[in-house]
Amino acid sequence: MSRSTTPITWFEIGTDRPEDAERFYGELFGWTFEEQGSTNGGSYRVTGAGGDTGIGGAIRATDGTSPNYAVFYAEVADVAETCRQAEAAGGRVLVPARTAPSGLTLAHLLDPAGNHLGVFTPPPPQP
């Protein structure tokens, strides 16, 4: 019996500083937000950040020297520049930009409230 896959089609960032998070992601990625009411006494701000391409995901095995985590990655044109923009917008670079042997470049960031996110640029197309 084949089993269909269930795509990840939504992310949520929980924060006690929603205005800072909205400003940070708006400045960093150009995302806009629209208030969609409240949940459990807090606001719920929706963004169409995924655009038409949606999102994918993976499981990464670690060597046990870092804590387990769940993180979303945003595809960007220039990882190093995005790191500079993140710091200018009040975030912090957690893992500096690095390039894998495949050519994929990535970095890990913290938003102003301490939420972990990743940014990446895919490897260049092979001739």
Q: Give residue-wise pLDDT tens across range 38-64.
A: 655 677 788 877 677 766 566 666 666
Determine the distance from the C-alpha atom of residue 74 to the mean position of all C-alpha atoms in its chain, rounded to a whole number: 5
Q: Where are the domains of the chain?
A: 6-119
Task: Tell me what pLDDT residue 40 has.
Answer: 56
Does the pLDDT at position 6 exceed 80?
Answer: no
**Strand-pair partners of 34:** 46
Amino acid in the structure at residue 38: S
Amino acid in the structure at residue 105: T
Which CATH class name applies to 6-119? alpha beta
Query: Residue with structure tokens 């629209």?
Result: 34
Q: What's the CA gap between 9 and 49, in Å, rounded? A: 11
Mean pLDDT, residues 94-103 taken together: 92
Full-model pTM = 0.70
C-alpha closest to that of 14 among 113, 119, 93: 113
Rounded to 5 degrees, φ, ψ at 3 are -115, 130
Between 97 and 19, the higher pLDDT residue: 97
Please give the mean pLDDT across all residues of the chain. Answer: 81
Q: What's the CA gap between 66 and 108, in Å, rounded? A: 13
Q: What's the CA gap between 45 and 89, in Å, rounded? A: 19
Q: Parallel, antiparallel, or unpaired: how do β-strands 116-121 and 73-75 relate?
A: parallel
Query: Residue with structure tokens 């929980």?
Result: 14
Say if residues 45 and 22 touch (Cβ distance below 8 Å).
yes
